[in-house]
Chain A
């Protein structure tokens, strides 16, 4: 069983479209995250939810909206996609805070054309 699973693995879409990425974890963790990895491999945190409550909301355009229906799921919806949104998006989870480290999903490579 995959601990943190993301779908889809690849997403190619046109500018202006709206798309969603889904994430599920079966580890029983309380906290989930979205990170963006750019073309230079730099990882930047976007959002974090703890028990369905938003606890980290970095400087991210309003076009990005996370949703956590329960503590095992964290989805990312992106409106009006732009070329600059092309990146790899990683979902991660942790037990409590960051002190135990994260378990990452395998990533979603988003390409906006």
Chain B
């Protein structure tokens, strides 16, 4: 069965500082990996996805993520955080079938 662990429940970061959100997955074959962002009261928006190829993936809003097979990780990074990045972030894993499994989410707070 596929699963995702996001070890950090809540992260606080200063505006302009860098951000890294951790994601570990469990899947028997090559996974399809995703990061979504959910702003308060909104639906989930896809930030980026990894299928194969280059293990460093660029997404929207200045985010990037790196797939490390040896560590079963897909961590999300942003070099300089803006106040508008305050949101809930979800990592998800799929196997090419119809089901995405989501992690429990990481809440990001940005302080001025």
Residues of A within 8 A of B (CB): 4, 31, 33, 40-43, 45, 48, 50, 55-56, 90, 92, 94, 97-107
Docked Cα-Cα span, A4 to B36, in Å, equals 16
CB-CB under 8 A from B96, the residues of chain A are 97-99
Q: Using Cβ atoms and an 8 Å threshold, which residues of chain A touch B84?
A: none
Does the CB pair B98–A97 fall under 8 Å? yes
Residues in B with CB closer than 8 Å to A106 are 42-43
- Name the interface residues of B68-112: CB closer than 8 Å to any CB of A: 88, 90, 92, 94-102, 104-105, 107
Q: Give the bracket for the number of chain B residues in contact with chain A.
A: 20 to 34
Shortest A93–chain B CB gap in Å is 11
* Extra pairs beyond A43-B102, A98-B97 (12, CB < 8 Å): A41-B38, A42-B105, A43-B90, A45-B100, A56-B99, A90-B44, A97-B98, A98-B95, A99-B51, A101-B92, A106-B42, A107-B42
**CB pair B44 A104 closer than 8 Å:** yes
Closest-by-CB residue of B relative to A55 is B98
CB of B46 within 8 Å of the partner chain: yes
Question: Bound complex: CA of A107 vs CA of B90, how far in Å?
Answer: 16
24 pairs, A vs B, C-beta closer than 8 Å = A33-B98, A41-B104, A42-B102, A42-B104, A43-B90, A45-B99, A45-B100, A48-B99, A50-B98, A90-B43, A92-B44, A94-B98, A97-B97, A97-B98, A98-B97, A99-B51, A99-B94, A101-B32, A101-B100, A102-B44, A104-B36, A104-B44, A104-B45, A106-B42
Among residues of A, the one whose C-beta sits closest to the C-beta of B107 is A41
On whether the beta carbons of A98 and B43 are closer than 8 Å, the reply is no
Residues in chain B within 8 A of chain A (CB atoms): 32, 34, 36, 38, 42-46, 49, 51, 88, 90, 92, 94-102, 104-105, 107
A47 to chain B, nearest CB (A): 11
For the complex of A and B, the 10 pairs showing the least CB-CB separation, nearest first, are A98-B94, A104-B43, A106-B43, A43-B102, A104-B44, A99-B96, A41-B105, A98-B100, A99-B32, A101-B46
